Amino acid sequence: MMDIKRKKLIYRSNYRGFKEVDLILGGFANKYMNELSDHDVDLFEELLNCKDHDVYGWITGKIAIPDDYNTDLFYRIKSFEPIK
């Protein structure tokens, strides 16, 4: 069973206000949050504290990914396809 922190992160990732980022982060969280290590959950939470336009720029490759977010988790998120 998911703990409260994971549930809150799923909610936050789905209702950020920037639809494209909601679909990517929310879809990823909905699908994989239970599988993430505690460390990756912390990294995901840090990512949610970033501005939507920055996150979207990193995902699309229009903005260089800062070292703090250049992680395996971010590349998993970046390769996630929210709609099939």
CATH number at residue 74: 1.10.150.250
| Prediction pTM value | 0.92
Residues in the chain: 84
pLDDT at position 75 is 96
Residue 84 resides in a domain:
no
Question: Does 15 have pLDDT greater than 90?
Answer: yes
What token pair was written down for 56?
């979207």
Instruction: Determine the distance from the C-alpha atom of residue 34 to the mean position of all C-alpha atoms in its chain, rounded to a whole number.
Output: 13
Q: Range of 12's domain?
A: 4-79
Asked if the structure places residue 23 within a domain, the reply is yes
Residue 47 resides in a domain: yes
For residue 21, the Cα-to-chain-centroid distance in whole angstroms is 8
pLDDT at 84: 59
Quote the number of domains for the chain: 1
CA angle 20, 3, 83 (to 5 degrees): 25
pLDDT in tens, 36-52: 999 999 999 999 999 99
Average pLDDT over all residues of the chain? 94
